[in-house]
Structure 1
Amino acid sequence: MPIKYIPYTPNTIEGQAVLDNITRTKRVLRYRENNEVYNRLERGMPYYEVETIEQVGESSENLIIRGECISNCAYLKEQGIKVDLVYIDPPFASGVDYAKKVYIRRNPKLAAKVKKAEKSLKGDELRTFEEKMYGDIWQKEDYLNWLYENLQAIKTILNENGSIYLHLDWHISHYAKILMDEVFGEENFINEIIWWYPSGSDPSKNFNRKHDTIFWYAKNKESDYVYNFDDVAIPYTEKQKSRFKEWDEEKQKRFYWNKNPRGETVKTYMKSGVGEYDVWNIGIDATGNKEIGYATSKPPKLLERIIKASSNKNMVVADFFGGSGVTAKVANKLGRKFIHCDVGINSIQTVRDRLIAEKANFTIKEIKDGVNLFRNPQQTMDKLAMLLTGLQTKVDGVSNFWLGAINDSKLGTVPVYVPDLIDSQQKLLDIPTINRIINQEIQNLSITAKKIIVYYIDIDDEKELKKFIKENNATTTDVELKDLKNLLHETVVNDALEFTCSKVKNKNKDLFDSEEVYEVETTKFSSDRLVQKINEFNEKGNLQAINRGKKFIPIDISEEGLELIEFISLDCENNQGKWFSSAEIKIDNKGFVILNGVKTKEFWNGKIVCDKKPLRIKVRSISGDETILLTNIE
């Protein structure tokens, strides 16, 4: 349950919301449930408990937060934190799923042999499979309502002289422009920027789609919003510079005489260059993110231009759909403070590791919204059907509104409703939702249901809801309310880890000064979830190979299972609560060790050392699942 709800603005709703003033758009999109948006805006942003997960380096204002945009904004507003620049690259409503490539690591027991033979890793030795990170499949009106509420939340924490850049593509950008006008005001629109990336593909039935659209709005154009002309200007050519021959003693600038549109002769002063155009030719392949594994990661050069143009040093730059962390990394490099937010644990881990390598200081926090989302909401939704005992999906007579139905020997078919965790607004079970269920969805069933089960994450007022059901349920169907959190918490199983710890002679005086160090050796690691994914991959690959008459080489995991480990960290300071990484190693895709953020050409040997007694050990699998255990060293 949220601790409380925080108002979006002092006067939450002014005028009409969500395109209601654009009648032609309303007709095309057939908005049916705008009242729900009004209700949510009037209720406010849900403010949940926030837990500090890890402190990296010295205390600073830099934040990495795992949570959804609206609840992140509620936290920032409650803490009085304002943002100077927002860049967001949300889902594009593209109608596709996005996956992350998962690499099997090298078996540490083979590392010595590989090193001895001076054998380099070849491309065909890299075994991978893909795992879905998030779905970008929306009904248009659902997407726009979702985006509208997120924009309203972002507006509440944006400084008066701040700016927001919204990055989308042809799928939905033309609708989003109207929403931006609605939320930030047409008068605060500054630029439509075209990011042009001419490369690849040769379609036969249409022109190459080779650009994205970025809308730049000021929070308030009248408040002297930041625009650093000199930082993004296109340098003059030598020919252009030659025009500025005369010198203005008073302004200490070179100039030349020029005629303005009215035919008047005026001075044109030399600046740092020509103003940047609104079409940016930045290669999509020049991302600097090749090893990160995020298909939608944007080029650092793109973010450099935005951050340089619309912020100054020590200003706060926020990205609420942070993904691979390009915004945070570039902001840190340019001397800005950063706030990186994302709902997926993979994003949090990726940007943490990237910023460790940059020697950045930051705090990692997590919004405790009452749900263990595994690693991201999409995966949780994929698992729910398996977690509910006896649930069958695609049952005749039961629409897609329901997750499925349970066949009960006494009650017959029992439809089951589960909120869509990808849509943050569905987490709260309230009277409008219950009203829809009992007065619309039950009656739309083409079967007679004696009972339905309604799962919830948060509940508005359970007593009031049950009273409402009793007074308004015109059917004979019994409605059972169940807390989904209980089910999720019971089914989360940590990976299994075995390790040893001993004191050994320090062989690396560059790393530690002490004569002896603690050496932790991982001897066995197993992950039921990963083994299942790999088995599915092997079965599918083998079947495809048979059909094509080709040979398939399956992914084999050793008995020790150390190929499934991506990251190990030791905490020598705390045995509970906030994590402090005293020593850490990350094994990259090619099997090389990144030691405390520094890349090496060493293969992992299954060990990690530190100069203090480790109290806890954290292991991250190649899919991002993390397991923390006490070392129990005397």
Structure 2
Amino acid sequence: MAIKYIPYTPTPAGGQALLDNFTRQRRALIYRGDTDVEININRGMPLFDIKETECIGNPDNDNLVIHGDCLSTCAYLKDNGIKVDLVYIDPPFASGANYAKKIILRKTYDRSSIEIDDNEETAFEEKMYGDIWDKERYLNWMFENLMAIREIMSERASIYVHLDWHIGHYVKVLMDEIFGESNFRNEIVWYYPNKIPDKRKPLFTNCCDFILLYAKSDEQVFNIQYRDVKPHKRAKEVKINGKKQSVRDADGNVVYEIFDKTMIDNVWNIPSLAGSSKEKHEINYATQKPEALLERIIRASSDEGMLVADFFGGSGVTAAVASRLGRRFIHGDINLNSIQSARDRLARNGASFHVKEIKDGITLFRNPAQTMDVIKQIIPGFCNDSRFKKPWTGSITDSRGTIPVYIPDLIALSSTRVLDTVTLNEIITLGLHDLPDGINRAIIYYIDIIDKEEISRFIDEHNDTLVKIELEDLKKYLDLIVLEDSAEISYIKSDNSYIIVVDNFYSDRVAGKIEEFNRRNDCAKQRSYPEIIPSDRGLDMIELISVDCTFEDKNAVWNSDFEIKIDPKTSFIIRDGIMTKEFWDGTITSDRKPLRIKIRNICGDETIFTNDTIS
């Protein structure tokens, strides 16, 4: 449950919205369900406890990597009086696609004699997040997030919103409403010339995204950017009596200047990241954007020392470029894969920052998309049931018959967290009346309820069917999802160092993913890949090991004194951010006594082992 709700500033942007009663004017975007978000806006941004989980580098810094959704992160920033000077966001595009992380089970190079297969690696995928929305829910979700972001922007701030053809033209209207049409600056076209054409489709190849640029006010920072061009001569000109005239020397000859730069316009020719590129290889994130794109944005709309934020941070490119250019940064994302990718990237680059986690009472299994998949497996008797359309998620069958079930959409968490009368009214009017004959019970799962008695009264007053509605707390299932890995760890003390040995490692979830991959492969008409068989010691299930020699308490802020990461493609060790040509043999050396050891498996789950579990 939220500690409190942080109110929005009751001042409309450019006369577009009145927040005291949230009256939209006629030229605002009108769509089915457009007023549903009013309750959330009037309630405010949910503020939750936040816990620092790790500090990298110099602790005297205000750079942040925050594991949490955009709305809760903005509530934390506003409550702490933190203003940002530049926002870039690359939110889901409502593209109808699922995005997956490629999981690689590396070769292992044990010291015992083992025949190494010639295959480079064995890989399978794991869903990172879903980008499957209906337009109405997406627009409500975007409206609320953009309102929250506006709250924490300084007067000198700009916001760049990266979208494409799927939804961008709708979001433009929302941004006019939130930021004011007079604060619109540009529609930037990012053209990536290396897109491979698809000749099978009867259309022009889509090879661009577009980025909407708005300012918070006329005080915005903007630094003109230039690009190199082929040097060429141009007559030097001056204005005389309001007219341009060529400059001439003492002999009457026209004076020429050499130009090798030109101002950058709103069409940006920047290649997207090819799979073989060094930048893509190092990070390997599904929706990764090139550093060149963010460098142009950050140089144009911020000065050194300013605070740059990205609340859908993905691969961490915004924070990484901001740090390199001498800006402060905030990286936020609800996806744990994003937090880990950004953390590793920034640590490798030598940045100092604090990692924080918003404690919203929900333990997400890796990310919302995966949690939705897993929660359906954990609820006893649940199944997807085509007989029940939206808003129902599926059904449960028990001794009393079939029961339709509603589960809040964790992907749109900010708008579905609290069970309110708007959601209930939709379930009752759209859901109950269309149920098949013989259904007399329905279950509504919720995450938070502000006033359960009010919800019960609403059901009694508005449910005119014979179907009994039962309310159940979803958090009791969310808390069961995360399982810790197991390991046998020992260390050997030599004269000046400690050699930590991971004797065995086992991850039930990685093993389950491998089993699922092999089973699916066996069912295929033609076997596509060889069977995946993990090594005996399970070391190929490990992605990163971090050693804390400073704090012993399991719940203390993590301090990574030594760490190694194993590159999934080459199996080489990355030691404290530096790539080596060494293969990992299951050991890590520390010059101080290890007090805690953190192991991250290849799916991204992290488990902390304290000194009392190390032999």
Give me the TM-score of the superposition, normalised by structure 1: 0.88
Please, which moves more after superposition, 516-525 or 472-481? 472-481
Residue of structure 2 equivalent to 1:95 = 96
State yes or no: 1:173 paired with 2:178. no
Distance change >3 Å, CA 44–CA 605, structure 1 → 2:
same
State the distance in 1 between where 2:572 and 2:310 align.
Answer: 30
Distance change >3 Å, CA 5–CA 98, structure 1 → 2:
same
State the distance in 2 between where 1:84 and 1:541 align.
Answer: 50
CA shift for structure 1 position 269: 11
Bigger helix share: 1
Which residue among 542, 552, 555 is the counterpart of 2:532? 555
State yes or no: 1:451 paired with 2:417. no
State the distance in 1 between where 2:293 and 2:227 align.
Answer: 15
State yes or no: 1:582 paired with 2:561. yes
Matches within 5 A, 1:398-477: 398-409=388-399, 411-424=400-413, 425-477=415-467
Distance change >3 Å, CA 360–CA 280, structure 1 → 2:
same
Which residue among 524, 544, 556 is the counterpart of 1:567? 544
State the distance in 2 between where 1:19 and 1:169 align.
Answer: 26
Which residue among 234, 244, 252 is the counterpart of 2:227? 234
CA shift for structure 1 position 108: 4.4
> Residues 563-613 of structure 1: CA distance to partner in whole angstroms, max 9, x if unpaired?
110011111222232111121110011211111112111111101122222
C-alpha contact 1:228 1:308 (8 A) present in aligned 2:
yes
> Residues 57-88 of structure 1: CA distance to partner in whole angstroms, max 9, x if unpaired?
11211000011111111111111110000011
Matches within 5 A, 1:198-597: 198-199=193-194, 200-204=196-200, 205-220=202-217, 222-223=218-219, 225-229=220-224, 232-235=225-228, 238-240=231-233, 243-244=235-236, 256-257=237-238, 263-265=243-245, 273-285=261-273, 288-394=279-385, 396=387, 398-409=388-399, 411-424=400-413, 425-504=415-494, 515-544=495-524, 547-548=525-526, 552-574=529-551, 575=553, 576-589=555-568, 590-597=570-577
State the distance in 2 between where 1:270 and 1:341 align.
Answer: 45
State the distance in 2 between where 1:153 and 1:572 align.
Answer: 39
Please, which moves more after superposition, 317-326 or 33-42? 33-42
> Residues 378-403 of structure 1: CA distance to partner in whole angstroms, max 9, x if unpaired?
0000111110111122153x223222
State the distance in 2 between where 1:349 and 1:282 align.
Answer: 27
State the distance in 1 between where 2:599 and 2:35 align.
Answer: 46
CA shift for structure 1 position 273: 4.1
CA shift for structure 1 position 19: 7.9
Q: Secondary structure at the match of 2:297?
A: helix
Aligned AA (1:484): L
CA shift for structure 1 position 559: 2.4
Aligned Cα root-mean-square deviation (Å): 2.5
Residue of structure 2 equivalent to 1:248 = none
Distance change >3 Å, CA 539–CA 407, structure 1 → 2:
closer
Q: Secondary structure at the match of 1:289?
A: helix
State the distance in 2 between where 1:332 and 1:321 align.
Answer: 17
Q: What 5-or-longer segments of structure 2 have no aligned partner?
A: 248-255
> Residues 408-434 of structure 1: CA distance to partner in whole angstroms, max 9, x if unpaired?
32x322222110000121111122222
State the distance in 2 between where 1:496 and 1:264 align.
Answer: 77
Aligned AA (2:62): E
C-alpha contact 2:546 2:598 (8 A) present in aligned 1:
yes
State yes or no: 1:614 paired with 2:605. no
Aligned AA (2:550): E
State the distance in 1 between where 2:260 and 2:5 align.
Answer: 48
> Residues 114-163 of structure 1: CA distance to partner in whole angstroms, max 9, x if unpaired?
9xxxx9x97x4221111111111111121111111111111101111110
Distance change >3 Å, CA 32–CA 277, structure 1 → 2:
closer
Distance change >3 Å, CA 448–CA 19, structure 1 → 2:
farther
Please, which moves more after superposition, 468-477 or 317-326? 468-477
State the distance in 1 between where 2:23 and 2:261 align.
Answer: 41
State the distance in 1 between where 2:154 and 2:191 align.
Answer: 30
Aligned AA (1:105): R
Aligned AA (1:201): P
Distance change >3 Å, CA 395–CA 174, structure 1 → 2:
closer
Residue of structure 2 equivalent to 1:79 = 80
State the distance in 1 between where 2:114 and 2:333 align.
Answer: 41
Q: Secondary structure at the match of 2:211?
A: strand
Residue of structure 2 equivalent to 1:508 = none
C-alpha contact 1:105 1:565 (8 A) present in aligned 2:
no
Distance change >3 Å, CA 243–CA 559, structure 1 → 2:
same
State the distance in 2 between where 1:478 and 1:269 align.
Answer: 82
Q: Secondary structure at the match of 1:193?
A: strand
State the distance in 2 between where 1:57 and 1:457 align.
Answer: 37
State the distance in 1 between where 2:103 and 2:498 align.
Answer: 31
Distance change >3 Å, CA 270–CA 142, structure 1 → 2:
farther
C-alpha contact 1:167 1:212 (8 A) present in aligned 2:
yes
Distance change >3 Å, CA 111–CA 458, structure 1 → 2:
farther
State yes or no: 1:35 paired with 2:35. yes
State the distance in 1 between where 2:229 and 2:581 align.
Answer: 43
Q: What 5-or-longer segments of structure 1 have no aligned partner?
A: 245-255, 505-514
State the distance in 2 between where 1:130 and 1:308 align.
Answer: 36
Task: Report percent identity of matched pairs.
Answer: 47
C-alpha contact 2:107 2:120 (8 A) present in aligned 1:
no
